[in-house]
Chains A and B, each alone.
Chain A
Amino acid sequence: MSWLLALPIIIPFITAVAAFLLRTTPWGRQVSVLGSAAALIAAIALMAAVWREGVIAAQMGQWAAPFGITLVADLLSAVMVVITAITGLAVAVYALGDITERQEHLGFHALFQVLLAGVTGAFVTGDLFNLYVWFEVMLISSFGLLVLGGSKEQIDGGVKYVLLNLVSTVLFLSGIGLIYGLTGTLNMADLAVSVPQVENQGLVTVVAMMFMVAFGVKAALFPLFFWLPASYHTPAFSVSAVFAGLLTKVGVYALMRVFTLIFIGNVAYTHTILLWVACLTMVVGVLGAAAQSDFRKILSFHIISQIGYMILGLALMTPLALAGAVFYLVHHIIVKANLFLVSGVGNRIAGGTELSRIGGLYKTAPLLGFLFLIPAFSLAGFPPLSGFWAKYILVKATLDEGMWLVAGIALAVGLLTIFSMTKIWGEAFWKPHPDGVDPRLSSLPTAHRRAMMLPIAALAVLTCIIGLFPEPFVQFAERAADQLLNPADYVRAVLGIEIGGEVAP
């Protein structure tokens, strides 16, 4: 059991070491792809075990909880690990065509694998301080990936990214210190037991707000999102795809974890703030996207508005809303990573991402146009694609609570998303190329074309599958939401006690 939980973290680390030592040979990139495939198998095995047996936990080094480091997987963690592995494999394949030899020699594949290990670790850890460590692993490797190659623009984006993330880290660490002072433990399951017993509940709410701000920066919530559009359009396309898909979602996951497990004493206060932050995040993100004219910048702002939907699901805290948030997370990671991958191909064949300088993709590269439409429509919420069901569940959950205004905002934001997607469509695909170039997929070397188009097509197929057969996915999300709302299972798996203090026989 313990190895099942540890393997999705161990495999990317081993792959990173091997890929780094082989970085100057053609084997380096093959190792990266193979390692990603192995990680996907391990992740699926983990999810199967969680689906069969409920929440599973393991103690690293056999130091018993709450003293050692615990790894826990409930359905939310497990599905995030699987989706990380899927994105990792897709981008590892895409990188075969996208990453230059120089970036490989600087250690792209190793950094990329360490990033995947950090993300996976954050999803399965059951300890707040360990979560901080995984955040650091992610931060260091993502900074390396951002500045890889070292153009002036990249350094500029990288510095903004790191500074704002450091602020978040410091807040997070202070929050950890305070909560340790209050309860004497950092094990999340143990915190779920001991936080309600703290006398000074006012201070607990203060600490909860510190965590909200710290994770809010990571998740790019309003008004803490500005680092994201400042940095995501600068690195290599493989890098921005994996960032867009996964990094902010770690923040969303952390919010979902602590605000369903630990800080549930003052829901009326904390979750109301989350609700309005979610609405503002949606609106500001989509308005920002409408004002941009660069392919990747529009997509970056869309990440922000989409994060709002997920936090909306968390803020409502009803079973349906949380199920919607889980469904949204899964759908969004696939779709968003795919859109960035498409923009990378567009950049290669049309010569840029600035929308006024490119065009004509529909006429001479219709396959790319088709593969762009699937994730783009899904993101905007067109039936029958995955985004429709995600939005449908969330809006229904909002209406069930009688929040007409919030539901109206969510729907209006969907409409505005379509608006900025049509902008990309009209400018990059329909308009003739301003320099009279005919962008063609056949202008790419065959090996590159295959490596880049295969993951895009695979992710698009995945989007269609989720959209056409949503039933099992919704059921899965409902079970995951059910686990989130009943932390007793989680606590029992980690500590072996029932909430209330009785030791299980």
Chain B
Amino acid sequence: MNSLILMAGSRILVALLVVFSIFMLLRGHNEPGGGFIGGLIGAVGFVIYAISCGTASAREALRLTPETIAAVGLGVALFGGLMAAFTGDAFFTGQWLFIGETEDDKGLPLSSVLVFDVGVYLVVFGSILSLVFAMEEEI
């Protein structure tokens, strides 16, 4: 599609959607959001880019093929589950690291759950984009 308005608008939209998707990913532990929704929103950003500027430039902007992103995501998610092995817990047991922990403040909580969520984000992001790109290129 060759629409100047869409092309100009998509630049802002793509950036907004990708940032928003990361925001959704990070707030997902206790509030609505998480890897799955974040991945979907992030994918929407690139879908808009692909519709306005063509899949070729969208693929170029991604640098990696979406299939590779999905596979790497699966690996990251697995790693998030496997981190429990280092402490001898059951598979997928959440491991927490509190940076700057004091008596009454938990500090910055980092967890293996977040690693898993990042993996899910990448799997959803990659697989949705590989489907959409394939369909765009067929038509």
Using a CB–CB cutoff of 8 Å, the interface residues on chain A facing chain B are 2-3, 6, 10, 13-14, 16-17, 20-21, 58-62, 107, 110
Contacts and interface: CB of A to CB of B under 8 A. Distances in A.
A395 to B, nearest CB: 43
B71 A110 contact: yes
Given A21-B71, A21-B72, A110-B71, A2 B78 contact: no
Nearest to B88: A3
A60 B68 contact: no
Contacts of B89: 62
Kindly list the 4 A-B residue pairs having the minimum CB-CB distance in the complex, ordered from nearest: A2-B90, A6-B91, A61-B92, A17-B75
Contact of A61 (B72, B74, B91): B91
A62 B85 CA distance: 13
Contacts of B74: 13, 16-17
A10 B75 CA distance: 10
Main secondary structure of the interface of B (DSSP, over half): helix
B71 A17 contact: yes
A112 to B, nearest CB: 14
A62 B96 CA distance: 14
A246 B81 CA distance: 27
A20 B67 contact: yes
Interface string B17-61: 000000000000000000000000000000000000000000000
16 contacts: A3-B90, A14-B75, A17-B72, A17-B74, A17-B75, A20-B71, A58-B91, A60-B90, A60-B91, A61-B90, A61-B91, A61-B92, A62-B89, A62-B90, A62-B93, A107-B67
A110 B71 CA distance: 9
A163 B90 CA distance: 37
Given A10-B82, A17-B72, 4 more contacts: A2-B91, A10-B91, A14-B75, A61-B91
B90 A59 contact: yes
Contacts of A59: 90
A14 B82 CA distance: 11
Contacts of B85: 3
Nearest to A106: B67
A61 B67 contact: no
Q: How large is the interface on B (under 10, 10 to 19, 20 to 34, 35 or more residues)?
A: 10 to 19
Nearest to B74: A17
A142 to B, nearest CB: 16
A60 B113 CA distance: 13
A62 B93 CA distance: 6
| Most-contacted residue by chain A among B67, B74, B91, B93 (CB, 10 A) | B91
B121 to A, nearest CB: 16
B10 to A, nearest CB: 30
A17 B68 CA distance: 9
Contacts of A17: 71-72, 74-75, 78
A107 B68 CA distance: 11
| Most-contacted residue by chain A among B81, B84, B92 (CB, 10 A) | B92
A110 B74 CA distance: 11
A21 B69 CA distance: 10
Contacts of B94: 61
A14 B78 contact: yes
Contacts of B78: 10, 13-14, 17
A2 B72 CA distance: 25
A21 B67 CA distance: 9
| Most-contacted residue by chain B among A2, A59, A60, A61 (CB, 10 A) | A61
A10 B68 CA distance: 19
A10 B94 CA distance: 17
B71 A3 contact: no
Contacts of B71: 16-17, 20-21, 110
A58 B90 contact: yes
B122 to A, nearest CB: 11
Contacts of B82: 10
Nearest to B89: A62
B91 to A, nearest CB: 4
A2 B93 CA distance: 11
A58 B93 CA distance: 12
Interface string B111-132: 0000000000000000000000
Contact of B92 (A13, A14, A60, A110): A60
A21 B68 contact: yes
A3 B67 contact: no
